[in-house]
Amino acid sequence: MLQTILAPNPSPLTGPGTNSFLLGDREIAVIDPGPDIASHRDAILAAAQGRITHILVTHAHLDHSAGAAALSAATGAPVLAFGTAETGRSPVMETLACTTGGGEGRDLAFRPDRLLRDGDTVEGAGWRLTAIHTPGHMGNHLSFLWEDRLFCGDLVLGWSSTLISPPDGDLLDYFRSLDRVDALRPARLLPAHGDPVEAPAPRIAELRAHRRDRSAQILRALADGPADPATLAARIYDVPAQLMPAAARNVLAHLIALSELGATDPAGPITPETEFSLR
């Protein structure tokens, strides 16, 4: 009833690649059609054998949503999602987007056929999914509850912490979404990258602790004086050079959250180059 088709798009940020899930027998829902790669689409079509009735997208990043339009054209199945790449941003992130534009990897062409809101259900023969709005990695991020399992997109990964890149990512939303998922008590999480998470509660607790530790590192570094996200990332992270821009975006997410909580002060309007100091 559940098949996983792995897209050929491995990278430091996607792990082994994007998992496209095929749920159902007579009527199949594709959850995250993945990147727009013809060989991946062909693999999905071959596995489904003409039975795709729904295409659901967790969020509008290119490695998740870009393949939706072509798969819909090939099958006639509608595309369902929370909204476009800009949908669901918090007010502070909307303000940031006006000065910086969006983050990396957004699928600006993505336009779902049907909008899903928190609590909406989608049904096919033998399966029922409930949409759970779980912003944090991206404002339009949805997870999908199937019985006691949760398709959680990029919210919770077993092999890595997820990238939170403002203005699309929001750390305070991320914490709220972790709490929301934890309260659902799923037996298993099915991330869009990597293996299933067999013990959701301990993994969620680990991710919360990781983010709190990172905030504490940033506050300790700011005790030496004001600094911008890139400078702080260079002090705090030990990652290859190609990952340092992503690290700086994560630091920016922490700085914005700490500013909203009253712990830091930006020196003027927030941008990726803004210096922050302790309040």
> 210-220: per-residue pLDDT in tens?
999 999 999 99
Q: What is the fold, at CATH topology level, of the domain defined by 2-199?
A: Metallo-beta-lactamase; Chain A (3.60.15)
If you average pLDDT over residues 42-65, what whole number do you get? 98
Sign of CA dihedral 21, 189, 159, 118: positive
What is the pLDDT confidence band of residue 64, given thresholds at 50, 70 and 90?
Answer: very high
- How far CA 22 is from CA of 55, 171, 226, in Å, comes to 9, 30, 49
The model's pTM: 0.96
- Looking at the chain, the whole-number percentage of residues with pLDDT higher than 70 is 99
- Looking at the chain, the whole-number percentage of residues with pLDDT higher than 90 is 91
Mean pLDDT, all residues of the chain? 96
If you average pLDDT over residues 237-250, what whole number do you get? 92
| CB of 162 closer than 8 Å to CB of 113 | no
Task: Look up tokens 């369902």; give the residue.
Answer: 80
Q: What is the pLDDT of residues 165-202, one digit of tens each?
A: 999 999 999 999 999 999 999 999 999 999 999 999 99
The confidence score (pLDDT) of residue 192 equals 98
The confidence score (pLDDT) of residue 193 equals 98
Kindly list the domain boundaries of the chain, sorted by start residue.
2-199, 209-278
d(CA 45, CA 54): 13
| CB of 164 closer than 8 Å to CB of 136 | yes
The confidence score (pLDDT) of residue 92 equals 86
Does residue 103 carry a pLDDT above 90? no
Range of 13-27, 98-112, 236-250 with top mean pLDDT: 13-27
- Cβ-in-10-Å burial (0-12, 13-18, 19+) of 21 comes to buried
Residue by residue, DSSP assigns 161-200 as PPP--TTT--HHHHHHHHHHHHHH--SEEEESSSS-BS-H
If you average pLDDT over residues 53-63, what whole number do you get? 98
Architecture in CATH for domain 209-278? Orthogonal Bundle (1.10)
What is the pLDDT confidence band of residue 38, given thresholds at 50, 70 and 90?
Answer: very high
The confidence score (pLDDT) of residue 114 equals 98
The confidence score (pLDDT) of residue 100 equals 75
The confidence score (pLDDT) of residue 157 equals 98
| CB of 6 closer than 8 Å to CB of 16 | yes
- Judge whether 2-199 and 209-278 match in fold: no
